[in-house]
């Protein structure tokens, strides 16, 4: 009598296992590919990135020259004691003031700041300031007596420029706006470099870029390559450096909440059987053609046709009411109706057999007059 | 798998737990695990909707607008099933009940009643029975569906039956059961009976009176055993809605009243519903079967949006009629269609039979014609007047050709058609 619909659990498993297997394999493959490629694409100026804005070529060049490059993205590696070592800080302005102060306290012998922001300049390279001028890519002579720059010669420069304090050596600029600034802070050498793109994979081979990079950066055997990440700020974004604005527990609550929402969605979302559809009849009103013709009359201002229909209809009623023969003469009709209603025969003739109305107002009045006439006829 | 509000509450409690007690990944994992385990166990413990067995009985047919009762017997051979049952029907079957609550212990059987008030004519098939069974804790459950076939046929409403008693009374007047002593055309000799003071002396049969010794009267009755063929046009002319139902439905109503009346009058009634093909065909059923067979045949006839082929109508009618008969054609008075496709082919019918053309008029046209307060209404009135004039002209043409035309509003079409039949019968034109 009754047949179960749908599939049992066993049937469902047999049907679903192949798609599930395929989906699982695809997800697995995607994860593998993602892991395999993530090392090479960890962002601009990364020593592991082979993209055109990466710096793997520079890192390889440094290794070939005997420099030990440690790539890192965590602050802890950047604040370790650094006597006799060099630290290069990648182009990211997301470090907070306390972080920068910890870096300043670590005793690095050589600091290279790639396109630093004003906060980093204030703490790590006092006296150097951003001039606000931003250069588009061009080649420039050294224009200073920094040995590294003199040896490199012409170099591609672009990006922000910096003003140098009197004690510093400023290169690749016009004296005020400089791209490379070297100054000594205590016993530490600090290089401010405004042109990160010159050292990327794409442009390292141009001009004297590679020579400048090697001479600037490759001064120490032990180089820590620090690329600040947004997560590593850790202590908030403001200068206050106070308590974080979002408590760390919130994320767990959010996940628990998301799960609860999912449960509620499944609870509310499951219907008691599918919606039943059926074929509906076409609804056509019988008077639709008549109403359509009325709109056509109106749009084309067919006053003559409208008036003719109204007159013919009124005449039909008069014929019926007064017992006038169907094929009676207009004058006979007018005479009969005039005699019965006491109207002026000339006006009546004009009303029943006159010319078509020339305006909408005339049509309205004609319709009204005919209406009155037929109602008069109907009354007695 | 289904979840309940309790599972949602449990998960929400988990949020509070994570927030206050264990704000860590362990806490989140614990909550997820608890919810999954509780719901999973509950689902496994729920009774199986798939193993339920169903059967139906109840009404097979119902007049449109009345209530049908269909019973569903649920037998549970497995674990106790507690939850909801939905007996799904198409929307136009008009299910009156919300989903049934079900609590069916193992090995028991329940009778669930579904009330249907169909909103459209025709067959309505049960779609499926869906059962949702919750586990003993009420956190989760299982859901399954069954196909339990059943069909309820919504028959034409036959609202015009209220007019039948008055028409039957008039028929009896004709019929000689009340005194009908005037001999006329279309009557046949019924019987001789004794004279009662007040009877018409012109009806005295002197020959019989002489034989019997007392005054004897002849009575007459209308001719019986005539053929009536009702043809319903199910083409596009019948699709237009007049009021809240298509012309076709009003035509069926009129056809059923006429069929009931003609059957009582002793005539043999046949039915044909036709557009570009024959949709319903009932040939001379036994008198007691006329109405049941007609409503059954008409239940699934719907107006098709095609042009009716009147050649089929004429050939079908001619094929089934030998003697002079009454042919009632229920269609629309559309000048273009009637003049182009009916008038050229109706000749053979008119030569041998009496033809009545009945059409449902649209009261909306009268409304349009009388409302004339602003310009669009005046144009509408002119258009409606033109439509009516065309119909009047067509009626005149048909009448000249020998067709009796009945053009009435939906409320009056059935009684007027019945009256037309009675007057034709009285005039002896059958």
- B196, part of any domain: yes
A2/B242 CB distance under 8 A: no
Band (B202; pLDDT cuts 50, 70, 90): confident
| Residue A340: CB atoms within 10 Å | 14
Band (A236; pLDDT cuts 50, 70, 90): very low
HEC string of chain B equals CEECHHHHHHHHHHHHHHHHCCCCHHHHHHHHHHHHHHHHHHHHHCCCHHHCEEEEEECCEEECCCCEEEEEEEECCCCCEEEEEEEECCHHHCECCCCEEEEECCCCEEEEEEEECCCCCEEEECCEEEEEEECCCCCEEEEEEEECCCEEEEECCCHHHHHHHHHHHHHHHHHCCCCCCCCCCCEEEEEEEECCCCCCHHHECHHHHHHHCCCEEEEEEECCCCEEEEEEECCHHHCCEECCEEHHHHHHHHHHHHHHHHHHCCCEEEEEEECCCEEEEECCCCHHHHHHHHHHHHHCCCCCCCCCCHHHHHHHHHHHCCCCEEEEEEECCCHHHHHHHHCCCCHHHHHHCEEEEEEECCHHHHHHHHCCCCHHHHHHHHHHHHHHHHHHHHHHHHHHHCCEEEEECHHHHHHHHHHHHHHHHHCCCC
Q: What fold characterizes domain A40-233?
A: Rossmann fold (3.40.50)
B415 Cα to chain A: minimum distance (Å): 22
Q: What pLDDT, on the 0 to 100 scale, is given for residue B389?
A: 92
How many residues are present in chain A?
Answer: 380
pLDDT tens digits, A35-62: 876 655 567 777 877 777 788 888 888 8
What is the arithmetic mean of pLDDT over A352-359?
88
pLDDT tens digits, A65-79: 888 888 877 777 777
B364 Cα to chain A: minimum distance (Å): 7
Q: What pLDDT, on the 0 to 100 scale, is given for residue B176?
A: 57
pLDDT tens digits, A362-380: 999 999 989 888 888 776 5
B324 Cα to chain A: minimum distance (Å): 34
| Residues B259, B195 share a domain | no
In chain B, % of residues over pLDDT 70: 96
Flag whether residue B110 sits within 8 Å of chain A, measured between CB atoms.
no
Q: What pLDDT, on the 0 to 100 scale, is given for residue A101?
A: 82
Q: What pLDDT, on the 0 to 100 scale, is given for residue B183?
A: 57
Q: B236, B240, B273, B267: which is closest to B255 by C-alpha?
A: B273
Q: A211, A220, A173: which is closest to A192 by C-alpha?
A: A173
Disruptive mutation site among B378, B380, B388, B392 for chain A (greatest number of A CBs within 10 Å): B378
- More confident position, A172 or B56: B56
Least confident of A113-122, B87-96, B240-249, B259-268: A113-122
A284/B386 CB distance under 8 A: no
| Residues B300, B414 share a domain | yes
Domain boundary among B201, B222, B243: B222
Residue B67 pLDDT more than 80? yes
What is the arithmetic mean of pLDDT over B237-243?
89
| Residues B282, B204 share a domain | no
Q: What pLDDT, on the 0 to 100 scale, is given for residue A25?
A: 95
| Residues B366, B263 share a domain | yes
Residue A234 pLDDT more than 50? no
Which chain B residues in 128-167 lie under 8 Å from chain A, judged by CB atoms?
Answer: 128-130, 132, 143-148
How many domains does chain B fold into? 3
A313/B385 CB distance under 8 A: yes
Q: What pLDDT, on the 0 to 100 scale, is given for residue B72?
A: 94
Band (A241; pLDDT cuts 50, 70, 90): very low
- B94, part of any domain: no
Residue A239 pLDDT more than 70? no
Pick the residue from chain A with its C-alpha nearest to B361: A286
Q: A135, A140, A116, A137: which is closest to A126 by C-alpha?
A: A116
Band (A157; pLDDT cuts 50, 70, 90): confident
Residue A22 pLDDT more than 90? yes
Flag whether residue B207 sits within 8 Å of chain A, measured between CB atoms.
no
| Residues B281, B297 share a domain | yes
| Residues B367, B218 share a domain | no
A3 Cα to chain B: minimum distance (Å): 5
For residue B88 the two structure tokens come to 């799904």
CATH of the domain at B284: 3.40.50.410
Q: What pLDDT, on the 0 to 100 scale, is given for residue B34?
A: 94
pLDDT tens digits, B16-48: 999 998 888 899 999 999 999 999 999 999 999
Q: What pLDDT, on the 0 to 100 scale, is given for residue A209?
A: 83
Distance CA B11, CA B25 (A): 15
Q: What pLDDT, on the 0 to 100 scale, is given for residue A240?
A: 43
Helix B25-45 to helix B5-20 angle (10° resolution) is 160
| Residues B233, B353 share a domain | yes
What is the arithmetic mean of pLDDT over A309-330?
85
What is the arithmetic mean of pLDDT over A141-163?
80
Distance CA A121, CA A27 (A): 45
Band (A232; pLDDT cuts 50, 70, 90): very low
Burial (0-12, 13-18, 19+ Cβ within 10 Å), B317 = buried
Q: A246, A189, A227: which is closest to A75 by C-alpha?
A: A227
Do residues B140 and B7 touch, judged by C-beta distance below 8 A? Answer: yes
Q: What pLDDT, on the 0 to 100 scale, is given for residue A38?
A: 61
A287/B364 CB distance under 8 A: yes
| Residues B211, B341 share a domain | no
What is the arithmetic mean of pLDDT over A258-287?
90
Flag whether residue B409 sits within 8 Å of chain A, measured between CB atoms.
no
| Residues B184, B270 share a domain | no
Kindly list the residues from chain B whose CB atom is less than 8 angstroms away from the CB atom of residue A309.
Answer: 382-383, 385-386, 389
Band (B230; pLDDT cuts 50, 70, 90): very high
Domain boundary among B222, B241, B256: B222
Do residues B30 and A294 touch, judged by C-beta distance below 8 A? Answer: no
Q: What pLDDT, on the 0 to 100 scale, is given for residue B179?
A: 44
| Residues B306, B167 share a domain | no
Q: Considering Cα of B360, then B362, then B365, then B371, what sign does the dihedral take? A: positive
- B281, part of any domain: yes
Q: What pLDDT, on the 0 to 100 scale, is given for residue B182?
A: 54
Q: What pLDDT, on the 0 to 100 scale, is given for residue A238?
A: 42
Q: What is the DSSP string of A35-102?
A: HHHHGGGS-TT-TT--STT--HHHHHHHHHTT-EEEEE-SHHHHTS--TT-EEEE-S-----HHHHHH
pLDDT tens digits, A92-104: 656 777 888 888 8
Flag whether residue B8 sits within 8 Å of chain A, measured between CB atoms.
yes
pLDDT tens digits, B307-335: 899 999 999 999 888 788 899 999 988 88
**H/E segment holding residue A171:** strand A169-173
Band (B186; pLDDT cuts 50, 70, 90): low
Distance CA B64, CA B244 (A): 14
Q: A153, A145, A135: which is closest to A197 by C-alpha?
A: A135
- Residue ranges of chain A that CATH labels 3.40.50: 40-233
Residue B238 pLDDT more than 50? yes
| Residues B338, B279 share a domain | yes
Question: What are the residues whose beta carbons fall under 8 Å from the beta carbon of B169, sequence distance 6 or more?
Answer: none
- B341, part of any domain: yes
A367/B372 CB distance under 8 A: yes
Question: What's phi and psi for B120, nearest 5 deg?
Answer: -140, 155
Residue A5 pLDDT more than 90? no
Residue B191 pLDDT more than 70? yes
Pick the residue from chain A with its C-alpha nearest to B55: A1
Q: What pLDDT, on the 0 to 100 scale, is given for residue B222?
A: 66
**H/E segment holding residue A113:** strand A110-114
| Residues B169, B41 share a domain | no
Residue A231 pLDDT more than 50? no
Distance CA A142, CA B62 (A): 101
pLDDT tens digits, B130-183: 999 999 999 999 999 999 999 999 999 899 999 999 999 888 877 655 445 455
Band (A152; pLDDT cuts 50, 70, 90): confident
Which domain, by its residues, includes B14? 2-45
- B135, part of any domain: no
pLDDT, mean over chain A: 81
Q: What pLDDT, on the 0 to 100 scale, is given for residue B229?
A: 94
Band (A242; pLDDT cuts 50, 70, 90): very low
Q: What pLDDT, on the 0 to 100 scale, is given for residue A186?
A: 77
């Amino acid at each position: 009598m009754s047949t179960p619909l749908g599939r049992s659990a066993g049937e469902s498993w047999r049907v679903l296992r192949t798609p599930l297997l395929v989906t699982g394999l695809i997800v697995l493959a995607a994860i593998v590919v993602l892991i395999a490629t993530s090392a090479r694409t960890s962002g601009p100026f990364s020593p592991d990135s082979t993209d055109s804005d990466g710096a793997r070529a520079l890192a390889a060049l440094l290794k070939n020259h005997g420099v030990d490059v440690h790539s890192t993205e965590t602050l802890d590696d950047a604040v370790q004691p650094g006597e006799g070592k060099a630290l290069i800080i990648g182009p990211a302005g997301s470090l907070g003031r306390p972080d920068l102060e910890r870096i300043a306290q670590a005793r690095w012998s050589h600091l290279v700041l790639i396109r630093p922001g004003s906060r980093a300049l204030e703490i790590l390279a006092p006296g150097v300031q951003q001039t606000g001028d931003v250069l588009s890519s061009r080649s420039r002579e050294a224009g200073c007596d920094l040995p590294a720059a003199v040896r490199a010669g012409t170099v591609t420069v672009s990006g922000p420029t910096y003003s140098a304090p009197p004690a510093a050596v400023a290169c690749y600029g016009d004296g005020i706006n400089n791209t490379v600034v070297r100054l000594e802070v205590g016993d530490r050498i600090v290089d401010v470099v405004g042109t990160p793109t010159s050292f990327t994979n794409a442009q390292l081979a141009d001009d004297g870029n590679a020579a400048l990079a090697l001479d600037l950066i490759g001064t120490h055997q032990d180089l820590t390559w620090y690329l600040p990440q947004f997560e590593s700020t850790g202590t908030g974004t403001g200068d206050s450096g106070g308590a974080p604005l979002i408590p760390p527990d919130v994320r767990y609550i959010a996940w628990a909440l998301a799960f609860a929402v999912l449960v509620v969605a499944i609870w509310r979302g499951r219907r008691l059987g599918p919606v039943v559809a059926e074929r509906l009849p076409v609804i056509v009103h019988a008077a639709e053609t008549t109403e359509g013709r009325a709109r056509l009359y109106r749009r084309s201002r067919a006053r003559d046709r409208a008036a003719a229909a109204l007159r013919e209809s009124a005449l039909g009623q008069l014929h019926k009411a007064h017992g006038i023969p169907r094929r009676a003469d207009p004058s006979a009709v007018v005479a009969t109706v005039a005699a019965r209603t006491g109207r002026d025969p000339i006006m009546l003739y004009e009303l029943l057999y006159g010319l078509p109305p020339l305006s909408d107002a005339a049509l309205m009045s004609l319709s009204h007059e005919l209406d009155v006439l037929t109602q008069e006829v109907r009354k007695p | 798998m289904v979840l309940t509000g309790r599972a949602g509450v449990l998960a929400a409690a988990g949020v509070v737990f994570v927030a206050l007690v264990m704000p860590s990944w362990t806490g989140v994992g614990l909550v997820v695990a608890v919810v999954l385990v509780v719901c999973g166990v509950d689902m496994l413990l729920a009774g199986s909707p798939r193993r339920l067995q169903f059967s139906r009985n109840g009404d097979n047919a119902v007049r449109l607008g009345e209530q049908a009762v269909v019973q569903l017997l649920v037998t549970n051979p497995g674990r106790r099933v507690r939850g909801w049952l939905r007996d799904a029907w198409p929307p136009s079957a008009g299910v009156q009940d919300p989903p049934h609550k079900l609590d069916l212990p193992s090995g028991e059987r329940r009778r669930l009643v579904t009330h249907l008030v169909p909103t459209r004519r025709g067959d309505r098939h049960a779609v499926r029975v869906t059962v949702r069974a919750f586990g003993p804790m009420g956190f989760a459950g299982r859901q399954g569906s069954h196909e339990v076939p059943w069909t309820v046929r919504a028959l034409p409403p036959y609202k015009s039956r209220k007019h039948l008693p008055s028409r039957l009374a008039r028929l009896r007047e004709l019929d000689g059961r009340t005194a009908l002593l005037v001999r006329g055309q279309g009557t046949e000799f019924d019987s001789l009976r004794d004279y009662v003071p007040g009877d018409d002396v012109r009806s005295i049969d002197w020959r019989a009176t002489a034989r019997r010794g007392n005054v004897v009267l002849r009575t007459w009755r209308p001719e019986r055993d005539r053929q009536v063929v009702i043809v319903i046009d199910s083409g596009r002319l019948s699709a237009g809605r007049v009021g809240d139902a298509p012309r076709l439905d009003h035509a069926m109503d009129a056809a059923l009243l006429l069929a009931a009346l003609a059957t009582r009058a002793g005539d043999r009634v046949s039915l044909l519903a036709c557009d570009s093909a024959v949709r319903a065909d009932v040939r001379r059923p036994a008198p007691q079967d006329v109405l049941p067979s007609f409503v059954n045949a008409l239940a699934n006839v719907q107006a098709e949006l095609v042009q009716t082929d009147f050649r089929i109508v004429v050939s079908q009618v001619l094929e089934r009629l030998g003697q002079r008969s009454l042919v009632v054609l229920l269609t629309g008075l559309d000048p273009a269609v009637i003049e182009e496709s009916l008038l050229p082919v109706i000749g053979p019918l008119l030569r041998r039979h009496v033809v009545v053309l009945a059409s449902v008029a649209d009261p909306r046209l009268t409304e349009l014609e009388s409302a004339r307060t602003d310009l669009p209404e005046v144009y509408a009135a002119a258009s409606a007047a033109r439509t009516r004039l065309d119909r009047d002209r067509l009626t005149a043409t048909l009448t000249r050709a020998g067709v009796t035309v009945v053009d009435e509003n939906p409320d009056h079409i059935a009684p007027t058609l019945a009256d037309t039949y009675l007057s034709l019968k009285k005039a002896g034109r059958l």
